[in-house]
């Protein structure tokens, strides 16, 4: 059901490309999907939206396309979603399709799962991803397991979405990164969006997928603006995005760390480095093909993530890379992750908990040597 | 934006939350005024919301003939049962002689209970012979609940169970052989050997599971009920009047998922039944040691929590299949016409331990003997014969047929092949692309040199 239609991302002009549009990205064999596209001058500019608007548009389009799609969660109806992702949709689709639930994550997640088993396609919103800790029982046992323990009889086509990540002094409990907690659950698929374009295209694909997909948004990215695709643009859920091509080092990141990495890249390029930046997008399964194609070139890998060092996404990605591609590496895989501490309220402590661009720059220096080296 | 009227069909269905029924529904489900004053033990579909204390209805004899309310039976049997039965609340629904079943229904009920009992006894045998392993929780003694409720449902209705699910599955129509093969861990098991005793699923029979953690299935059942409502009110499918019955135990009624789901089911008027199989024990924890009584009560009563969440609560003699069937029929009809959920507490007992691994040392012999005397199967057998619903000869014939059916189930399970390793990665995902699993379940390395 997650059909990959040709993605038409425009080639963004990023710092460090020395004024040239990016070359088209690597082609996956047999797939017609491209990550970037060279546009002729004078092409009509694409429509731009903020990420929350893009997510809203994705939800709206999918609900229109398929009447079994509904959204359920706290304040998704009248309030329009705490981050406006379902703003005013209840006026168009009614209160059963934008179901305002009581504050009972475990049970409304379970209710969504029961509805999915019997033919509907719920999008379950966690007002903050952290709240889904309350729903861990349902997500692990029922979302993840039922297709298997029922011998394939019941599928659970739910999308569980919501904002996570460290915001602006929101305190420890509202600053959690649950992707690493969920990644071990057998039977769930994990996706992290990062731009207006990919958030819309991925959410559409996630809703159409028959797998249970946990869809990670970031609290600080809802106002990121960018071009978005049309009604038919869906993006493969299990493919990474090449954000910037390069030759010196492969930087693997996701969600807000994409921007942190690209900010560091701005400095690195002026210093003569040529990093390749890949946005993982798919946290489970990892797109090892795209990663391999990159590190074959660069022979160095730096993982930049927002989850904790212990047991994080980077931990399992690093082992996977080392196990599979040790012969292609000139340097051990380096992980930049958040500190293993609850996120403090004070600004300085919060800033010290997560990865900052300076750390990325310093890590590239360390891995590549003090000056840029050819691959 | 909430319209206090009938739900509209089509994509703009508004959620009807006040006490009104679907257009055209026969019942007059009047707005309840003060919650908590609702008479427990009444089925509300035909109630006009008048409040009577149980004592009053007992004094006045059976509930007024103009109402189809069933609280207690006639005065005589009520006073007898109040002396004879344990103090479980004066408004317990017991056998009502005015509730009749015909011969076919009686046969179906008896045979179904017998199938459940014989199946579970065979499970115990097979377990001790090393044919099944792990945690196996048997249902002996509780058959009246499964038969009483599930037998009153349609095949397109849903049932959601717990780890004590063999008999629920069999009552719902899952072939005995497939359940037994699942218990043996064989390929022809209803879940291909991947679920086991605690995870029986059958999409064909709308059996939603099989859950190992208590309370985990309750919201799932509510989700199926929500789906039925959605199909009717949003998708405009007039035939979507399915109901879902969720079964769970007394221990579960202290769990958050229970209360959260009661609230949502009431709020959204979901067509479901919450059937509590109160067998008084949660492994070794007696119900009254884990559950606080409500104010004014000496013992905890689960059914009384229904009205606190906006639905009727009924206490019924779970050792009497006729009493259960009567309550179930009313609750199912209430759900089906759109009047919302019902909480049914069945006072029942399991004759075996919590599981086959439980030494069952805490329950007293007197308690077990008292409940053994109330065994639902011989009780109904005698009732049928006395009422002329069946002859001795017929009953013996059915008993023999059931034994044969169970033997055939074991043969089927024995003959079924064991799953091979190639089955390991199958069914992890509905869409396995990208996970290194090929469509036929084999492991598939990504394309690397």
**Among the partner residues B15, B204, B211, nearest to A96 by beta-carbon distance:** B15
| Alpha helices, H only, A86-194 | 89-93, 105-117, 136-137, 144-149, 179-182
Largest CA distance in chain B: 87
Nearest CA in chain A to B3: A95
Which of A178, A198, A227 terminates a domain? The answer is A227
**Residue A312 C-alpha, separation from nearest chain B C-alpha, in angstroms:** 19
User: Residue B389 in 3-state DSSP?
Assistant: coil
Q: Which of A235, A254, A233, A227 is nearest to A243 (CA)?
A: A254
Q: What is the pLDDT of residues B117-158, one digit of tens each?
A: 999 999 999 999 999 999 999 999 999 999 999 999 999 999
Residue A375 forms part of a structural domain: no
Q: Which residue has the higher pLDDT, B229 or A375?
A: B229
In sequence order, which residues have a C-beta less than 8 Å from that of residue A343 and are 6 or more positions away? Answer: A166, A170, A171, A172, A175, A176, A350, A353, A354
Per-residue pLDDT reduced to its tens digit, B185-222:
999 999 999 999 999 999 999 999 999 999 999 999 99
Q: How far is B247 from chain A (nearest CA, A)?
A: 15
Domain assignment present for residue A235? The answer is no
> pLDDT digit string (tens) for A320-332?
999 999 999 999 9
DSSP-assigned beta bridge partners for residue A252: A278, A303
Give the Cα separation of A100 and B377 in Å (integer).
46
Q: Grade residue A43 by pLDDT with cuts at 50, 70 and 90.
A: low
State the pLDDT confidence band at B7, using cuts at 50, 70 and 90. very low
**Cβ–Cβ gap A152/B426 under 8 Å:** yes
In this structure, the answer to whether residues A212 and A268 fall within a common structural domain is no
CATH number, domain with residue A155: 3.40.50.970
Q: Are residues A22 and A134 in the same domain?
A: yes
Asked whether the beta carbons of residue B222 and residue A1 sit closer than 8 angstroms, the reply is no
Q: Do A220 and A284 lie in a common domain?
A: no
Nearest to A150 among B158, B195, B446 (CB): B195
Residues B158, A138: C-beta atoms closer than 8 Å: no
| Nearest CB to B429 within list A95, A147, A236 | A147
Residue A42's pLDDT band, with cuts at 50, 70 and 90, is low
Q: Does the model's pTM come out above 0.90?
A: no
pLDDT of residue A314: 97
pLDDT at residue B90 in the model? 63
Reported as a single tens digit per residue, the pLDDT across A129-160 is: 999 999 999 999 999 999 999 999 999 999 99
Average pLDDT, chain A: 90
Rounded to 5°, the CA angle A15-A19-A23 comes to 90
* More confident: B436 or B1: B436
User: What mean pLDDT is predicted for residues B75-96?
Assistant: 54
B191 with A151: Cβ contact below 8 A: yes
- C-alpha–C-alpha distance, residues A236 and A258, integer Å: 18
User: What are the chain B neighbours of A120 within 8 Å (beta carbons)?
Assistant: 227, 230
- Select from B98, B149, B164, B115 the least CA-distant residue to B353: B164
The Cα–Cα gap between A13 and A243 comes to 11
Between B409 and A12, the higher pLDDT residue: B409
Q: Which of A40-44, A259-263, B83-87 has the highest mean pLDDT?
A: A259-263
Comparing CB atoms, the residue among A67, A93, A285 nearest residue B436 is A285
Confidence bin at A371 (pLDDT 50/70/90): low
pLDDT score for B433: 85
In chain B, which among 400-429 make CB contacts under 8 A with chain A? Answer: 426-429
Average pLDDT estimate for A192-212: 98
**Measuring CA to CA, how many Å separate B190 from each of A178, B187, B193, B260?**
34, 8, 7, 31
Catalytic machinery residues of A: 105, 174
CB-based contact (8 Å) between A67 and chain B? yes
A94 and A202, same domain (yes or no): yes
Question: For residue A135, how many other CB atoms are within 10 A of its CB?
Answer: 24
Per residue in B240-257, pLDDT tens? 999 999 999 999 999 999
Q: Do B11 and A70 touch (CB under 8 A)?
A: no
Chain B residues closer than 8 Å to A112 by CB? 223
Task: In whole angstroms, give the CA distance from residue A291 to residue A314.
Answer: 13
Using CA atoms, how far residue B394 sits from B121, B380, B386, B389, in Å, is 22, 14, 13, 10
What does DSSP say about strands A301-308 and A249-253: parallel, antiparallel, or unpaired?
Answer: parallel
| Touching A: B residues 192-231, CB under 8 Å | 192-196, 199, 201-204, 206, 208-213, 216, 218-231
Distance (Å, rounded) from C-alpha B123 to C-alpha B136?
Answer: 8
With CB atoms and an 8 Å threshold, state whether B199 touches A150. Answer: yes
A302 and A217 assigned to the same domain: no
Closest-CA residue of chain B to A328: B449
- Judge whether A119 is closer than 8 Å to chain B, CB to CB: yes
B residues 245..304 contacting A (CB < 8 A) = 256-257, 260-261, 263-264, 267-268
* DSSP string computed for A180-208: HHHTTSTT-EEEE--SHHHHHHHHHHHHH
**Does A67 sit within 8 Å of B234, measured CB to CB?**
yes
- What is the rounded average pLDDT of the residues B27-41? 36
Inspect the interface and report whether the beta carbons of B195 and A109 lie closer than 8 Å.
Answer: no
- Give which of B381, B376, B389 is closest to B147, Cα–Cα: B376
A-B Cβ pairs (cutoff 8 Å, strict): 206
Q: Are residues A9 and A128 in the same domain?
A: yes
Distances (CA, A) of A47 to A9, A42, A53, A102, A225: 12, 15, 12, 36, 10
Taking the Cβ of residue B9 and every Cβ of chain A, the question of whether any pair is shorter than 8 Å is answered with no
Tell me: do A185 and A39 sit in the same domain. yes
Minimum CA–CA partner of B159 in chain A? A114
Output the average pLDDT for chain B.
84
Residue of B190, B261, B447 lying closest to A107 (CB–CB): B261
Same-domain pairing of A17 and A162: yes
Q: Mean per-residue pLDDT for A334-348? A: 97
pLDDT tops 50 at residue B293: yes
**Structure-token match 């070359």, residue found:** A23
Same domain, A273 and A206: no
Which chain A residues touch B230 with a CB distance below 8 Å?
A: 70, 96, 115, 120
- Residue B2 has what pLDDT? 38
Q: Are B210 and B161 in contact (CB under 8 A)?
A: yes
Task: Tell me the chain B residues in contact with residue A107 when contact means C-beta distances shorter than 8 Å.
Answer: 218-219, 222, 256-257, 260-261, 264
In Å, how far are A63, A315, A322, A353 from A343, measured between CA atoms?
Answer: 36, 20, 30, 7
Q: Please state which CATH number belongs to domain B103-418.
A: 3.40.50.970
Q: Hey, how many other C-beta atoms are within 10 angstroms of the C-beta on B241?
A: 19
Burial class (CB in 10 A: 0-12, 13-18, 19+), B239: exposed
Q: Is the pLDDT of residue B84 over 90?
A: no
Give how far B193 is from chain A: nearest CA, Å: 8
CA distance A101 to A86: 14
User: For residue A375, what pLDDT is reported?
Assistant: 47
Cα–Cα distance measured from residue B172 to residue B195, given in angstroms and rounded to the nearest whole number = 18
Q: B163: Cβ–Cβ under 8 A, 6 or more apart, which residues?
A: B135, B137, B197, B198, B210, B211, B212
Distance from CA of A375 to the nearest CA of B (A): 20
Q: Do B222 and A111 touch (CB under 8 A)?
A: yes
Nearest CA in chain A to B205: A153
In chain B, where the domains are located? 103-418, 421-448
What is the distance between the alpha carbons of residues B109 and B148, in angstroms, rounded to a whole number? Answer: 7
Burial (CB count within 10 angstroms: exposed 0-12, middle 13-18, buried 19+), residue B418: exposed
Same domain? A88 vs A216: yes
pLDDT digits (tens, 9 = 90+) for B144-155: 999 999 999 999
**pLDDT attached to residue B91:** 80
Residues A135 and A57 in one domain: yes
What is the per-residue pLDDT for A36? 52
Other beta carbons less than 10 A from residue B404's beta carbon: 11
Cis peptide before A285 (omega within 30 of 0): yes
**Backbone phi, then psi, for A366, in 5-degree steps?**
-65, -40
Collect all residues with Cβ–Cβ distance below 8 Å to B187 and sequence separation of at least 6. Answer: B181, B193, B416, B417, B418, B419, B423
% chain A with pLDDT above 90: 86
Minimum-distance CB partner of B260 among A107, A119, A189: A107
Distance from CA of A346 to the nearest CA of B (A): 35
Domain tally for chain A? 2
- Domain interval for residue A110: 2-227
Boundary (domain end) residue, out of A227, A254, A273:
A227
Residue A110 to residue B220, Cβ atoms within 8 A:
yes
Q: What is the pLDDT of residues A207-250, one digit of tens each?
A: 999 999 999 999 999 999 999 999 999 999 999 999 999 999 99
SS3 B313: strand
- Report the DSSP pairing between strands A225-227 and A213-218: unpaired
Q: pLDDT of A50-67, one tens digit each?
A: 999 999 999 999 999 999
Q: Tell me the pLDDT band of B72, cut-offs 50, 70 and 90.
A: very low
Residues A175 and A70 in one domain: yes
| Interchain contact, A118 vs B224, CB within 8 Å | yes
| Residue ranges with strand state E in chain A | 48-50, 69-73, 98-100, 121-125, 159-164, 189-192, 213-218, 225-227, 241-244, 249-253, 275-279, 282-284, 301-308, 334-338
**What is residue B93's three-state secondary structure?**
strand
Which A-chain residues 165-194 have CB contacts (< 8 A) with chain B? Answer: 186-187, 189
A346 in any annotated domain: yes
Q: Average pLDDT for residues B372-396, to the nearest whole number?
A: 97
Nearest Cα neighbor of A257 from A203, A293, A303 is: A303
Residue A272, domain CATH: 3.40.50.920
Whether B345 contacts B405, CB under 8 Å: no
B357 pLDDT above the threshold of 50: yes
pLDDT digits (tens, 9 = 90+) for B319-344: 999 999 999 999 999 999 999 999 99
What is the separation of C-alpha B359 from the centre of its chain, rounded to a whole number of angstroms? 26
pLDDT confidence bin for B436, thresholds 50/70/90: confident
Per-residue confidence at A374, pLDDT binned at 50, 70, 90?
A: low
Query: What is the biggest distance separating any 2 CA atoms in chain A, rounded to whole angstroms?
Result: 60
The answer to whether the peptide bond before residue A300 is cis (omega within 30 degrees of 0) is: no
Q: Which of A201, A227, A253 is the last residue of a domain?
A: A227
């Amino acid at each position: 059901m997650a059909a990959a239609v040709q993605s038409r991302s425009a080639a963004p002009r990023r710092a460090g490309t020395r004024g040239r549009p990016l070359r088209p990205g690597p082609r996956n064999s047999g797939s017609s999907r491209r990550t970037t596209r060279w546009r002729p001058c004078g092409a009509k500019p694409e429509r731009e939206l903020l990420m929350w608007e893009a997510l809203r548009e994705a939800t709206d389009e999918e609900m229109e396309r398929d009447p079994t799609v509904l959204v359920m969660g706290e304040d998704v109806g009248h309030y329009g979603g705490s981050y406006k992702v379902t703003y005013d949709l209840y006026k168009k689709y009614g209160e059963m399709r934008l179901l305002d639930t009581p504050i009972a994550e475990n049970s409304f997640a379970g209710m969504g799962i029961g509805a999915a088993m019997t033919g509907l396609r719920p999008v379950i919103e966690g007002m903050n991803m952290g709240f889904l800790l309350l729903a861990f029982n349902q997500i692990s046992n029922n979302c993840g397991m039922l297709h298997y323990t029922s011998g394939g009889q019941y599928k659970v086509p739910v999308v569980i979405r919501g904002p996570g990540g460290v915001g602006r002094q929101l305190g420890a409990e509202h600053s959690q990164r649950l992707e690493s907690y969920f990644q071990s659950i057998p039977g769930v698929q994990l996706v992290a969006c990062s731009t207006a374009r990919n958030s819309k295209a991925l959410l559409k694909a996630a809703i159409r997928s028959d797998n249970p997909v946990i869809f990670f948004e970031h609290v600080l990215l809802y106002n990121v603006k960018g071009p978005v695709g049309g009604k038919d643009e869906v993006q493969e859920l299990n493919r990474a995005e090449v954000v910037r091509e390069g030759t010196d080092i492969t930087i693997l990141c996701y969600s807000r760390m994409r921007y942190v990495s690209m900010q560091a890249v701005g400095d690195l390029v002026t210093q003569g480095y040529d990093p390749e930046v890949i946005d993982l997008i798919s946290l489970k399964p990892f797109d090892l093909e795209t990663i391999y194609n990159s590190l074959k070139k660069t022979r160095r890998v730096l993982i930049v993530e927002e989850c904790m060092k212990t047991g994080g996404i980077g931990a399992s990605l690093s082992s996977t890379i080392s196990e599979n591609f040790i012969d292609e590496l000139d340097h051990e895989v380096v992980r930049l992750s958040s500190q293993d501490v609850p996120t403090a309220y004070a600004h300085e402590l919060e800033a010290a908990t997560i990865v900052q661009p300076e750390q990325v720059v310093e890590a590239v220096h360390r891995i590549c040597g003090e000056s840029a080296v050819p691959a | 934006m909430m319209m206090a009227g009938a739900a509209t069909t089509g994509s703009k269905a508004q959620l009807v939350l006040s006490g009104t029924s679907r257009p055209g529904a026969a019942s007059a489900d009047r707005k309840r005024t003060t919650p908590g004053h609702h008479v427990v033990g009444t089925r509300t579909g035909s109630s006009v919301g008048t409040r009577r204390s149980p004592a009053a209805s007992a004094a006045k004899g059976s509930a007024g003939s103009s109402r189809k309310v069933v609280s207690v039976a006639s005065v005589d049997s009520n006073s007898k049962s109040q002396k004879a039965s344990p103090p479980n609340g004066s408004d317990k629904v017991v056998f009502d002689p005015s509730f009749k079943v015909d011969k076919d229904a009686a046969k179906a009920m008896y045979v179904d209970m017998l199938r459940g009992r014989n199946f579970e006894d065979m499970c115990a045998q097979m377990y001790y012979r090393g044919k099944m392993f792990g945690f196996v929780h048997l249902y002996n003694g509780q058959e009246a609940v499964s038969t009483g409720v599930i037998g009153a449902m349609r095949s397109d209705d849903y049932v959601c169970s717990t780890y004590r699910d063999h008999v629920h599955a069999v009552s719902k129509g899952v072939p005995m052989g497939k359940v037994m093969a699942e218990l043996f861990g064989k390929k022809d098991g209803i879940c291909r050997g991947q679920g086991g005793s605690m995870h029986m699923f059958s999409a064909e029979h709308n059996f939603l599971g099989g859950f190992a953690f208590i309370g985990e299935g309750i919201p799932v059942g509510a989700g199926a009920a929500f789906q039925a409502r959605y199909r009717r009110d949003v998708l405009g499918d007039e035939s979507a009047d399915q109901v879902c019955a969720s079964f769970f135990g007394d221990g579960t009624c202290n769990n958050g998922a229970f209360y959260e789901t009661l609230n949502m089911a009431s709020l959204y008027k979901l067509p479901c039944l919450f059937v509590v199989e109160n067998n008084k024990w949660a492994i070794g924890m007696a119900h009254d040691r884990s559950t606080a009584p409500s104010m004014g009560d000496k013992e905890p009563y689960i059914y009384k929590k229904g009205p606190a969440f906006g639905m009727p609560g009924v206490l019924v003699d779970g050792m009497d299949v006729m009493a259960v069937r009567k309550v179930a029929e009313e609750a199912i009809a209430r759900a089906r016409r759109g009047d919302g959920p019902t909480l049914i507490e069945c006072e029942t007992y399991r004759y075996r331990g919590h599981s086959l691994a439980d030494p069952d040392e805490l329950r007293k012999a007197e308690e077990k003997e008292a409940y053994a005397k109330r065994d639902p199967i011989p009780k109904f057998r005698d009732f049928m014969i006395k009422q002329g619903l069946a002859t001795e000869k017929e009953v013996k014939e059915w008993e023999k047929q059931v034994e044969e059916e169970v033997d055939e189930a074991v043969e089927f399970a024995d003959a079924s092949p064991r799953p091979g390793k190639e089955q390991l990665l199958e069914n992890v995902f509905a869409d396995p692309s990208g996970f290194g699993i090929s469509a036929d379940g084999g492991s598939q390395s990504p394309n690397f040199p």
